[in-house]
Structure 1
């Protein structure tokens, strides 16, 4: 918007904001007009956040007015240049409305009736029946990783702490890490992406597979930090993923299949009800008979 027009709108909006909501709904103050379309002050006041400053309100109102004017001009230009057939959108609107209410109805049925509980046995059965679908596309590990400032690191102590993976030992390691380490990752129960872990290393790992095969405990250094990674377990690319690593994915797959079947059953039940209650008829196109 040109500056002089922006300033003009700013002065108008400022005046309207000062007036507040003095004008009644039946005597609303116009703010802008394009053809026979009018934008009123009440529409501006509705979009302004409560407790916003006068300056912010003016900026928001100006932006709203500018967008409204551009939209109305575009609508006007389209209306002038499209044929009556092109402007007839009744069929599209009806199709959109029908799709929307069906979508909302199905979603409401899903919320009310779909069983979302997936048992452990269901997950295990799905996993065993679809093993080939769960080959890994990356390496995953169970590991312990610490990054400690060199002047604070005690490598012998750190290695001793890492070796003890009992509940008490891990608690002691966490306490040590919270005191001295810059970064601590303790994943002895959960699988994690090795690629994410190795981003913390001071050197690039060119072959994750070789690294994991050759190292159970790896120490690294740079000018500032001492690094230690202990690989507790690993799975390589193309290995079958552990069930606990893909458990959530399997649950979502089961629920999605359950939802598809649920909706298909709903459609069939509604169709059967329509037949039983004689709610529709299909005509023979050639004889125009039922």
Structure 2
């Protein structure tokens, strides 16, 4: 039973518990669930927030609670409007808050667009300048991991290719893996936490184990042979590689550029508005 079918079955079950006829205008393209005054709750609104793995009685309870809370919010709002003497201040605050949200969203998009255009030289300069702030907390590696059935053919040849590791042997390794490997991961260009790779082996290998300095790690169990060819490694406490530090570099630039860029943009916007006579001064601040 798919999620959508299950959801509508739950919805029908819960809705039948309190079904009554009312004359309400509804969207003909949607499935109405309930209404309070002139507001309508539709099935898709509940479906969008229904947790993925919820089932059975929990699903029914979730739907019923959501419907009840939805109705209570509308009724409370109605009661508050009836009893508050004035909502003018709230309306003003709401409008101001809305304006600020729109402005903030636009500023974020401006900064995001500007950061996309940052040159690689700028990123490298920040990396070199701030190196002492980019320190690795956990070991990372680059390489190739291969797991093959224990009876797979030509294992010695595969081991030889992994040891040599060049463009020519890499192509041979890939072809071999496609045909025989039960699992293989090529991450020669991607720094990866060592802890993630270590979990792929049947037996834990400590980061300080000398075997990791040999470049090729091999393990076996009753069903598989495991190979890890290490092409790059970095110790905790050392400076992060540029690729790992890049998100932090971007954040530094974002914080540094944000105020200057936004201020410059605002001044430009203001001055252009004056030139185009979009702004009218009724009183001068000059003596």
- Paired residues, what number? 256
In structure 1, C-alpha distance between the alignment counterparts of 2:260 and 2:231, rounded to whole Å: 42
Indicate if the aligned counterparts of 1:149 and 1:225 stay in contact, CA closer than 8 A. Answer: yes
Question: Equivalences for 1:45-64 in 2 at 5 Å?
Answer: none
The aligned residue for residue 16 of structure 2 is 7
The aligned residue for residue 99 of structure 1 is 100
Indicate if the aligned counterparts of 1:118 and 1:251 stay in contact, CA closer than 8 A. Answer: no
The change in CA–CA distance for 1:122 and 1:222 in structure 2 (over 3 A counts) is same
Q: CA deviation at 1:140?
A: 1.1
TM-score normalised according to structure 1 size: 0.67
Indicate if the aligned counterparts of 2:140 and 2:235 stay in contact, CA closer than 8 A. Answer: yes
In structure 2, C-alpha distance between the alignment counterparts of 1:5 and 1:225, rounded to whole Å: 52
The change in CA–CA distance for 1:20 and 1:252 in structure 2 (over 3 A counts) is closer
Question: What stretches of structure 2 of length at least 5 have no aligned partner?
Answer: 1-11, 48-59
The aligned residue for residue 240 of structure 1 is 239
Question: Equivalences for 1:241-260 in 2 at 5 Å?
Answer: 241-247=240-246, 249-251=248-250, 253-255=252-254, 257-260=256-259
Q: Aligned with 2:116: secondary structure?
A: coil
In structure 2, C-alpha distance between the alignment counterparts of 1:162 and 1:127, rounded to whole Å: 33
Q: Aligned with 1:209: secondary structure?
A: coil
Question: Equivalences for 1:57-96 in 2 at 5 Å?
Answer: 68-76=70-78, 78=80, 84=85, 88-96=89-97
The aligned residue for residue 260 of structure 2 is 261
The aligned residue for residue 24 of structure 1 is none
In structure 2, C-alpha distance between the alignment counterparts of 1:31 and 1:240, rounded to whole Å: 58
- Report Cα offsets for 1:202-251 as digits up to 9, x if no partner: 1123x323457554222111222111112222110011122244345534
- Please tell me whether Structure 1 or Structure 2 has the larger radius of gyration of its CA atoms: 1
In structure 2, C-alpha distance between the alignment counterparts of 1:162 and 1:268, rounded to whole Å: 59
